[in-house]
Amino acid sequence: MAATGLTRLTREAEVAQVIEVIERDGGVIIEGMLRSETLEGLRSDLLPLLEKTPTGKDAVFDGQKTRRLSRLFARTRHVADIAMDPLFYDAAMHFVSRPMETWHGGQMHTAAPGLQLGMTQAIQIAPGEGNQPLHRDDGVWSWRHPCERQARLQIMVAVSEFTAENGGTLVVPGSHKWDDRRKPELSEAIPTEMSAGSALLWIGSTFHAGGTNRTADQFRTGLTMSLDNATLRQEENHYLSLSPDVVRSYPERIQRLLGWASGANHMGWVEIAGQMADPNELLHGATFD
């Protein structure tokens, strides 16, 4: 691990390389992750909405000079491309949806938890904002460390340029391997510097934080989402935030990632006509009785 920061790969990297670097360092930067149409589409859909979004109320974590816009699947269709990008999705399958074995009577049964979209947010840090506290995002489930499996793979796409001065995400390389007693220090954190359209990927146990914006006039705008273990509770409650019509308008893979699915472990079923059924059927004409 270079003292200067996380390893940088390009869009042409193999998923295996992405996995290898994240396994070693806890995160990786992918330069030129987004197609230019996707970046332009995100900008034109989200920047006007961010302008109308109030800043946070909580000084410690949300930031009183930071705007956060969520429910992104109701706000821009371009987020679907990010969720299904193979460099993100296939790496998440590796880290988060690892198959597990359990006995079912005399048979050893293998099932993987599957993936779900945990949260979606555009985050705009204004000049004068301080840094967030260093944290692990798997703290939402009080995940314990060191851990034998990951609950989350997160992506932060640079919608504007990310610099050390404008609040580029602080990451503590290698901290995914620490136990729960070790306290992260800001002196160990390295700011993510990347051009617009590039992305940072990191796992749920890596310490990180939004950085301090020391510029006079630059807004740091990022878009983040997570692919999480589908047997955990969603961090952002998509069931209540997105109407069935919005969910139905996306490809089935996205519908399932948003929680309209029962997984391999029989998780999340609904009763349809007296059977424990896949909730995805409710999007396609099935009724309860």
Ligand X SMILES: O=C(O)CCC(=O)C(=O)O
Summarize as ranges the residues that interact with Fe ion (CB under 5 A). 137
Nearer to ligand X, 80 or 156 (CB): 156
CB of 121 to ligand X, least distance (A): 7
Interface with ligand X by CB under 6 A: which range of 35-43, 138-146, 208-216, 238-246? 208-216
221 binds ligand X, rule: CB under 6 A: no
Asked, as a colleague might, if the bond just before 127 is cis with ω within 30 of 0, I would say: no
123 binds ligand X, rule: CB under 6 A: yes
Distance CA 200, CA 208 (A): 11
Distance CA 181, CA 194 (A): 31
Of residues 144-183, which lie at the interface with ligand X (CB under 6 A)?
156, 169
Nearer to ligand X, 166 or 255 (CB): 166
CB of 49 to ligand X, least distance (A): 17
Q: Point out the residue whose Cβ comes nearest to ligand X.
A: 210
Ramachandran class of 74: left when φ > 0, alpha when ψ lies in -120 to 50, beta otherwise: alpha
Q: What are phi and psi of 38, to 5 degrees?
A: -65, -45
CB of 116 to Fe ion, least distance (A): 18
Interface with ligand X by CB under 6 A: which range of 81-89, 142-150, 206-214, 278-286? 206-214
CB of 132 to ligand X, least distance (A): 6
- CB 217: neighbour CB atoms within 10 A? 7
Interface with ligand X by CB under 6 A: which range of 44-52, 70-78, 202-210, 233-241? 202-210
CB of 191 to Fe ion, least distance (A): 14
Interface with ligand X by CB under 6 A: which range of 15-23, 145-153, 203-211, 225-233? 203-211
Distance CA 200, CA 33 (A): 9
CB of 233 to ligand X, least distance (A): 17
Q: For Cα atoms 249, 197, 251, give the angle at the middle one, nearest 5 degrees.
A: 15
Distance CA 230, CA 57 (A): 30
- Of 210, 259, 263, 279, the one binding ligand X (CB under 6 A) is 210
Nearer to Fe ion, 137 or 235 (CB): 137
Q: What are phi and psi of 157, to 5 degrees?
A: -90, 135
For 15, 55, 89, 148, 206, the CA distances from 100, given in Å and listed in that order, are 22, 42, 19, 12, 23
DSSP letter, residue 165: T
Residues that bind ligand X (CB under 6 A): 123, 132, 137, 156, 169, 208-210, 222
